[in-house]
Amino acid sequence: MQTIDDLGPDLAGRRVLVRSDLNVPFDKSGSGVITDDGRIRASLPVIRKLAERGARVVVLAHLGRPKGADFAERAAGGPTLRPVADRLGELLGQPVAFAADLVGPSATATVAALADGEVALLENVRFEPAETSKIDEERAVLAAKLAALGDLYVGDGFGVVHRKQASVYDLPALLPNAAGELIAAEVSVLRRLTESPARPYVVVLGGAKVSDKLGVIGNLLELADRVLIGGGMAYTFLAALGYPVGGSLLEAEQIDSCNAILARAQVEGVELVLPTDIVVAPRFAPDAPATVVPADAIPEDQMGLDIGPASRELFASKLADARTVFWNGPMGVFEFPAFAAGTRAVAEALTKVDGLTVVGGGDSAAAVRSFGLAEADFGHISTGGGASLEYLEGKTLPGLTALGA
């Protein structure tokens, strides 16, 4: 896998297409305010380094999951990357030109107008339906149009390397390419998690659905010493033990899978830890009255929204002697202050670990930033939750394959 240093120190006059991950969250009120610019900040080093070397940097990125049959229909419904261009410019300390299309006249003119060291962002790549097409030929046509806008390609959007999409998988084959520092760093850390990790190796998994994590749990049972399970997915495991879960999130069709995981963990000698108490409420709302109940006695009219105080202490104790930790998924509805304590407890416990701590992107990374914890206190905060999980599951990631990784 080539890195951007292999492209040479002088890139003056070269148009470099950079596939970044700028898929940031916005305020739900529709104000257009970015609520977490972590992914934009993570993309800055490569963009800045290329610009400093004289490259004419053309950034490609997606935002959300636009709906519609063609570019015009999707662009009308949004979301547009224009606010992201503005924020990127603020963080870079220089203007970022914005093209109102991807491979049309605006993109062509915007790229042609770039001088050495300048940066442009093209409109949401997913406004073009071919970007995510399952038909190879459709993606290839879009990739060829994108390739005409550049001389070199740099893949730096780790959050999308598990997607077989035109700007991630097909485009690199058409231009001399390299991996950006963000992808190189992510791959380096993930290899440390899968190749002779320091022990004890503890995995903390949360989030809504156990079905999203079955593959990674199965693979990590061969690697980890302990697996701690919280969040919405914990209730299916509790149900598998025969406990009532009230109105908590439950995937009844996965109960047998959870039983199989519990049995396999015992055979493999892996300590699988579930919550012992739960913070419950009668409804899913920030102002819902919260109470704490034993994990085996959730009332029928209550739903679990966080792990309880005893579980927080238990999980922290199971992390105390760890030398390697991977965490993906919150322990509860951390967006609601009344149900954030479990996720905060795990995050704070990670800052005290003497070893490698990896926060697996997505909601976990957002939680760390929302709590105001110093990112430097964590070994690595991934920008790609889904990509991290698929790597740890042992899957081949198309975007990494395209870059020779």
User: What residues are annotated to the active site?
Assistant: 39, 209, 362, 386
3-class DSSP assignment, residue 55: coil
The backbone torsions φ and ψ at residue 23, rounded to the nearest 5 degrees and listed phi first, read -80, 80
CA distances from 24 to 21, 37, 118, 212, 367 (A): 8, 6, 23, 21, 14
**Tokens found for residue 180:** 């950006």
Give the residues across from 56 on adjacent strands: 15
Q: Considering only CA atoms, which of 250, 336, 246 is closest in space to residue 294?
A: 246
Q: Rounded to an integer, what distance in angstroms lies between the CA atom of residue 156 and that of residue 248?
A: 38
153 contacts 175 by C-beta, under 8 angstroms: yes
Residue 181: other Cβ atoms inside 10 A: 16
Give the end-to-end CA distance of the chain in Å, rounded to a whole number. Answer: 5
140 contacts 170 by C-beta, under 8 angstroms: yes
How many residues in total does the chain contain?
405
